[in-house]
Amino acid sequence: MESSRRKYFRIVYCNDLVPRVPWDNSWSDFQHFGKCIYFNSLYRGDIVDEVPNKNYFSVFMFIPKKMICVWELMRGFGMGMFIGREYKELKVMRAVRLMGIFSIAGLPAHAPLDYVNSTRFASPDLYAPKPWLRQ
């Protein structure tokens, strides 16, 4: 894939569990390839080689992931008021975020809403070609 003329990349939003599956490990022979555009919970993107928190079910990241879920729930209430009506979250999304606090933190982060907002708020420089990354 590296020799292909097309360049592949993947976009990962914060605590999303799904883009990390299957895990890169020694027993499955699977390896993610290409660059990764990682967005944090503030919708700030960065091009990385490896996704942060690669071991998703780490005991050390349990509390920080739950705190991010609480932040995302609070952010959902304020975005419609402070940024614009088109960013208002529906009650269903707020309920899903609330469930994420009490269950797996990465499930609400997989919602298309966060990926759409990540690309809407992303800096145009993030997607500009960078010769040093061999794009």
Residue 116 has pLDDT above 90, yes or no: yes
What is the pLDDT at residue 58? 81
Residue 119 has pLDDT above 60, yes or no: yes
Alpha helical stretches, state H, 1-135:
62-82, 91-102, 112-121
Residue with the bigger pLDDT between 102 and 27: it is 102
**Tens digits of per-residue pLDDT, 78-97?**
998 999 999 999 999 999 99
- Taking residue 58's Cβ as centre, other Cβ atoms within 10 Å add up to 11
Describe the strand order of the beta sheet including 9-13 as a list of residue ranges: 9-13, 35-39, 45-48
* Average pLDDT for 106-132: 85
